[in-house]
Amino acid sequence: MTGRILVATDGSEAGNRALDCAAELSSKLGRGLSIVHVFLHGRPPAEMMQLADSEHLIEQAAKAQNLTPRGQPANFLGLFAGAAEEADRAKATLAIGEKILDWAAHRAKEAGARDVETHICAGDYAEAILKTAETENAGMIVIGRRGLGLTREILLGSVSQKVLHHANCTVVVTQ
């Protein structure tokens, strides 16, 4: 295998398992690791709200973006339902994505991953992952079987399925 290893994470348990797998592969194969997070788009699923609440991401994002307590949503759902300005939602979503990436990079480095880089992008999840893999000249993509989507009963999530079918490199789908 040549090229970097690319892992996609959304902060979910499936994303964390993919991250751990990719970090181990990076360490053992001596390949650089690129971590990508794609902005959440649309209405946030309940699991993302729980993650943001449990990790105190709302407070951290508000602090990073200098939002006043009056402008800070009470919870993750409030970020999307109550924000008056689209720009405020975008800033807060970006800050949360950056926190997820910071945490993922730290976790990967502690696991021995090499030459860790992070990328944040917006748009269609699968297309953004595939484009980042192409840009990074990835020899392998590691992705969770399903992330924060609502269709838990589906054996293979729509994002992982699209990446698996359209990638020009090895794809590892973690359980």
Residues 76-130 have pLDDT tens digits of 555 555 545 666 767 777 888 899 999 999 999 999 999 999 999 988 889 999 9
Q: In terms of Cα–Cα distance, which of 118, 135, 129, 124 is closest to 167? A: 129
Domains defined along the chain, listed by start: 4-174 (3.40.50.620)
Which amino acid is it at 170? T
> pLDDT tens, 28-67?
999 999 999 997 655 454 545 555 555 556 566 656 655 5
Rounded Cα gap, residues 114 and 107, in angstroms: 12
pLDDT grade for 1, boundaries at 50, 70 and 90: low
Reported pTM: 0.73
Contact indicator for 32, 4 with CB cutoff of 8 Å? yes
